[in-house]
Amino acid sequence: MEPELLLAAAAALGLAVVFTPLRVPRASLLTWGLLGLAGMAAIVIAPSLDLVILILLVLAVLQARLTSNREFVTRLRAPVLAIALLALGLAFERMQGPVVLDRFGAVGIVAGLVAAIGLLPYVHEFDPDESVVASPIPWMAFIGPPLAATVLLQANQVIPSDAGDAFGAMLIGLGLLNMIGGSLGSWRTENDASAWRYSFMADWGLAMCGFGLAIADGRSAALLMLFSIVLGRLPLYLWSRQALREKVPTDRPINLVVAAVLAGSAPFAGFPARVLLLRGATQLYWPLALVLAAGMLLWLPSSLRLGRSMGVPRGRQAVGVAIVLALNVLLGVYPQPLLTLAGL
């Protein structure tokens, strides 16, 4: 799963660099993107969770030093909390002691992962006017997916079976929190850029529920959700930045199609992810599937809002949007090759 997500992140970077408006300095975008990719590659190939945490520390410091309106110290807080929690969680897992210590270790790892990505309740501070590279968005949509896949894979090797249930339950619980909080926030918040950020959270909520189910269908759903984040939501967010600044919502057909992509409706990538998630939840505990199905409807009002906020893509952006749509349709109708590649 991790190499596939790394490839997806690379593809997203390529899309962003090639199809970004001419006024955007491609060199800086490419530079920092490649740095991030290098960090992600290091995370994916790291043989232990300790090295992953250390690499995370490097990425956090590098990103915090970027030019921004927010203070250096402020921007470090959430990533450092993540690192500390991951380290403490890992330490608890390695220590011999009562079972509750293993559970605390699981808490640390899950909370640390959530803090690294920037989800509820460990949300990174967000300045809507900030450059995307310096904002929390790369944690959510660029570094986050391979990081999450790697951490969870490594954690499964460290966490004993006694604490496995608690680990899964926490992932699902936090996933539901982000699903509902993110979709409601995306719908009701005043600022459109914040609404985009909330929408990432909502998608992550579904992905976390998928990881928490700990069966093949759940992991498949999580993989597809993360792909839809990296290769769908992230590029669309990047291309919406100009329209967000101009604050001119538009109601063209393309905005509606974008809304459909963001809402996870058929035939886009979010739909099979939702189907797999429902299947996994039904297998384990059907009331969870009921909650998930009801929650999935909350994506719609926010997606319509985000679709309108994108403006009308023109020129290179329009080509980029078309490519993103095509990729999402392909993943939505025929995800089997990706799942086979990921061993699911």
Q: Scanning residues 67 to 96, which ones bind other proteins (CB under 8 A)?
A: 67-68, 71-74, 76-78, 80-81, 83-85, 87-88, 90-91, 94-96
Rule CB under 8 A: say whether 11 interacts with other proteins. no
The residue from 7, 11, 101, 312 that contacts other proteins (CB under 8 A) is 101
Site for other proteins in 291-330 (CB under 8 A): 293, 296-297, 300-301, 304
120-149 positions binding other proteins, by CB under 8 A = 120-126, 130-134
Q: Which of 188, 314, 315, 326 binds other proteins (CB under 8 A)?
A: 188
Residue 227 engages other proteins in binding (rule: CB under 8 A) = no
DSSP result, 142-176: IIHHHHHHHHHHHHHHHS-GGGHHHHHHHHHHHHH
CB of 245 to other proteins, least distance (A): 7
Span near other proteins by CB under 8 A; candidates 139-147, 203-211, 225-233, 285-293: 285-293
Q: Are 204 and 270 in contact (CB under 8 A)?
A: no
User: Nearest Cα to 122, choosing from 83, 88, 153, 151?
Assistant: 83
Using CB under 8 A as the binding rule, whether residue 276 contacts other proteins is answered as yes
Q: Which residues contact 237 (CB under 8 A, 6 or more apart)?
A: 132, 137, 141, 196, 200
| Torsion of Cα atoms, 16 then 17 then 21 then 23, to 10° | 140
* Residue 129: CB minimum distance to other proteins, A: 9
Residue showing tokens 């740095």? 35
**Piece of the chain touching other proteins by CB under 8 A; list 3-11, 148-156, 167-175, 204-212:** 167-175
Determine whether 23 is exposed, middle or buried from the number of CB atoms within 10 Å of its CB (0-12, 13-18, 19+).
exposed
> Which of 12, 113, 170, 171 contacts other proteins by CB under 8 A?
170
Exposure pattern of 29-62 as b/e (b: 16+ CB <10 Å)?
bbebbeebbebbbbbbebeebeebbbbbbebbee
Structure tokens at 270: 């979010």
* 8 Å CB contact between 145 and 225: no
Is residue 107 a contact point for other proteins (CB under 8 A)?
Answer: yes
For CA atoms 302, 243, 270, 114, give the dihedral sign.
negative
Q: Does 58 bind other proteins (CB under 8 A)?
A: yes
Task: Report, in Å, the least distance between residue 3 CB and other proteins.
Answer: 18
Nearer to other proteins, 7 or 184 (CB): 184
Is the CB of 90 or the CB of 327 nearer to other proteins?
90
Size of residue set near other proteins by CB under 8 A: 118
Kindly tell me which of 3 and 189 has the beta carbon lying closer to other proteins.
189
Length of the chain: 344
Q: Are 258 and 307 in contact (CB under 8 A)?
A: yes
Determine phi and psi for 216, rounding to 5 degrees: -60, -40
**Position 225 contacts other proteins (CB under 8 A):** no
- Judged by CB under 8 A, the residue of 50, 249, 319, 330 near other proteins is 50
- Quick one: which of 10, 11, 45, 257 contacts other proteins (CB under 8 A)? 257
CA count, 13 A, side-chain hemisphere, 295 = 24
Options 34, 38, 100, 248; binder of other proteins; rule CB under 8 A: 100
51 touching other proteins, by CB under 8 A = yes
